[in-house]
A and B are shown apart, each in its own frame.
Chain A
Amino acid sequence: QQQVKQSPQSLIVQKGGISIINCAYENTAFDYFPWYQQFPGKGPALLIAIRPDVSEKKEGRFTISFNKSAKQFSLHIMDSQPGDSATYFCAATRGFKTIFGAGTRLFVKA
């Protein structure tokens, strides 16, 4: 089965620090790599996404780094804030199918 492996499972970061979440995939046919943010009691919401022909994408404090040869991608949250405390999911999409990572629970200490 196609897999997307995500680490760490949980992460505690001080306010103002950098949060880093990593993902690895197996299938080179994936053509879209989104990150989702989920708050308790809510559905996931798209945070930022990248295509495999781009090595980095930045939107505000959020950056995706993409390493096609290593089949890895990561989310960096700069200047982490308590409001960033949530569960983050990486995903890989091909056509109409999406495979999600297991999720990372981020807690930003004030």
Chain B
Amino acid sequence: EAQVTQNPRYLITVTGKKLTVTCSQNMNHEYMSWYRQDPGLGLRQIYYSMNVEVTDKGDVPEGYKVSRKEKRNFPLILESPSPNQTSLYFCASSLTSPSTDTQYFGPGTRLTVL
């Protein structure tokens, strides 16, 4: 089944403890992206990747890191999480770009930073 998977689905952590949220897609998509969803704000783009080893900032990149060493994986790294990063996170992918191809979203990761 073609899909975007994320792990973990739920995570509770404490301020300053480094964490990684994994994202993987099995559709051979070149483009991948991370979003955060907050009430009243919709989804906001954190980082995106046009292909392996090529990444760029979205609208809210502060406090996040990403890497794209393999085509199928695009992990999101929070090196020193803070309570304002408590949010629902979505990974997405599309064949080449979101303005030419359907963007497929993962099931989400709910992160709480205490």
Number of interface residues of B (CB under 8 A): 28
User: Across the interface, which residues of B come within 8 angstroms of A66, CB to CB?
Assistant: none
Q: How far is the CA of A82 from the CA of B73 in the complex (A)?
A: 37
A51-110 interface (Cβ within 8 A of B): 89, 91, 93-103
Q: Which residue of B lies closest to A90 (CB)?
A: B42
Other-chain contact of B105, A41, A43, A93 (Cβ < 8 Å): A43
Selecting from B11-19, B62-70, B76-84, B96-104, the interface stretch reads: B96-104
Q: How far is the CA of A89 from the CA of B42 in the complex (A)?
A: 7
Q: How far is the CA of A91 from the CA of B43 in the complex (A)?
A: 9
A26 interfacial contact with B, CB 8 Å: no
User: Across the interface, which residues of B come within 8 angstroms of A100, CB to CB?
Assistant: 35, 42-44
Contact A96 B107 (CB under 8 A): no
Other-chain contact of B108, A43, A89, A96 (Cβ < 8 Å): A43
B59 interfacial contact with A, CB 8 Å: yes
Q: How far is the CA of A36 from the CA of B104 in the complex (A)?
A: 10
Distance to closest chain B CB from A44 (angstroms): 5
User: Across the interface, which residues of B come within 8 angstroms of A89, CB to CB?
Assistant: 42-43
User: Across the interface, which residues of B come within 8 angstroms of A6, CB to CB?
Assistant: 42
Given the contacts A96-B97, A99-B59, A43 and B45 also touching, CB distance less than 8 Å: no
Q: How far is the CA of A34 from the CA of B48 in the complex (A)?
A: 18
Contact A94 B99 (CB under 8 A): yes
Given the contacts A31-B99, A43-B90, A93-B99, A103 and B50 also touching, CB distance less than 8 Å: no
Contact B107 A103 (CB under 8 A): no
Q: Which residue of B lies closest to A1 (CB)?
A: B59
Other-chain contact of B107, A9, A32, A34, A42 (Cβ < 8 Å): A42
Q: How far is the CA of A41 from the CA of B107 in the complex (A)?
A: 7
User: Across the interface, which residues of B come within 8 angstroms of A36, CB to CB?
Assistant: 105
Q: Which residues of B contact A (CB under 8 A)?
A: 4, 31, 33, 35, 40-45, 48, 50, 56, 58-59, 90, 92, 97-100, 102-108
